Each structure stands twice: as C-alpha cells, then as structure tokens.
Amino acid sequence: MADNIILIGFMGVGKGRTARALAALTGRFAIDTDDLIESMVKMRIRDIFAEQGEAHFRQLEQQCATWLEGQVSHTIVSAGGGFFKVNNLQRLGQVIYLHSDLDSILEAIRSHPNAEQKMKKRPLFQDIARAEALFVERLPQYRQAADLEISVRGRTNADIAAEIVARLRS
Ligand code: S3P
C-alpha cells in the first residue's frame, strides 16, 4: 500500500483547505483529484459533467486513482466527493473521512467571499434537495470507506490538521 493520506468527504467540507494545512504541518506535498482530472483532460469538472456525463467523470476518477497507486507516495491527496468509490482506495494510503453536517457545509460555502463560484463549479450542488439525499446516502459509505473519521465543524484548518497528525501517529 502507498503511504499517502487520502482525505474524503462531502463537497465543500474543506478537504482542499485541510490538505494544504496538513502539507504545511508535515512538509509533504498536497494534490487534489479534481485538479488532476481537469489537467489530464483540459476541461473543467462542470464541463465534463455537462458534455460527457457523470459516468464518464467517474471513469476519469478511476483512471486518476490507478495513476496515484502506481506513481504517488508520501503525499496528501484531497479527493472529490465521490472519489471514495474507486476500486483501489485502500491501496492508496490511509483514508480519512472529514465529517460535518450538511447545514454547516452549506453555511460555510454561502458565507465564503467566492460563494457563487464555489456553488457553480459543483454540478451536484445545483439542486439542494438532491444534495441532501446524496449526503444521507453517502454518510454511511464514507464511514465504511475510511480508516479514521475527523469532525471538522467549526474548527480551523490548522486544528484539524494537528488532530490528523496526532491520530495517525498514535
Ligand atoms: C463530486 C464532488 C466534487 C467533484 C464533482 C463530483 C461528488 O468535488 O469531484 O463535482 O460526487 O461529490 P468536491 O468534493 O471537491 O466538491
């Protein structure tokens, strides 16, 4: 198994921010699966969904996971919200589920200076009722996929990163 740290969790929970805080704390690099996919196909995630469909995007996530397994180690990986369904997740490294409730996630996005952009870039957040149903469906799946769960609600990125480091050591 590769020795990466893989951050999974719902859209907007703060996987990218936490990955950067973890990188600062540990001296590792941080990369993001959505960014890798966008650079691989030279398209924005929302355009991949609109033009090629979600099923195609899921194939790109699997391609990304296969590449990570073969090529990447000792790295912090923030994963898109559905990436945890790839078939080699456990072989990529330690999997950490970042948990918050949907209301707090929505509140954090809406109060962000770039709120409109943050909502627009996420096709599965366009319909809040659908996002709620997805959250309920995925919660047990995230928990099942993860080696560790960290509650992030109301906490700073540095605090969350420090807890991850402490719990990975123990
Ligand atoms: C998705 C989450 C998004 C992105 C895509 C699909 C999902 O990533 O991968 O829009 O299925 O939950 P973020 O979790 O970074 O928003």
Pocket of ligand 1 (CB under 6 A): 11, 34, 45, 80-82, 122-124
In this predicted structure, the answer to whether residue 104 has a pLDDT above a threshold of 90 is: yes
Range of the domain at 156: 4-169
- Residue in 124, 128, 152 to alter for ligand 1 test, most ligand atoms within 8 A of Cβ: 124
> Can you tell me the distance from the alpha carbon of 91 to that of 65, in angstroms, rounded to the nearest whole number?
10
pLDDT digits (tens, 9 = 90+) for 41-53: 999 999 999 999 9
Q: What is the mean pLDDT of residues 11-36?
A: 97
In this predicted structure, the answer to whether residue 100 has a pLDDT above a threshold of 90 is: yes
Which residues sit opposite 7 in a β-bridge? 78, 96
Ligand 1 atom nearest residue 82's Cα? 11
Q: What is the pLDDT of residue 143?
A: 98
* Spatial contact of 93 and 3, defined as CB atoms under 8 Å apart: yes
For the chain, what is the domain count?
1
Residue count of the chain: 170
pTM of the model: 0.97
* CA 163 to ligand 1 centroid distance, Å: 24
Residue with CA at minimum distance from ligand 1 atom 16: 11
In this predicted structure, the answer to whether residue 115 has a pLDDT above a threshold of 90 is: no
Q: CATH number, domain at 31? A: 3.40.50.300
* CA 49 to ligand 1 centroid distance, Å: 11
> Can you tell me the distance from the alpha carbon of 34 to that of 30, in angstroms, rounded to the nearest whole number?
12
Other beta carbons less than 10 A from residue 139's beta carbon: 16
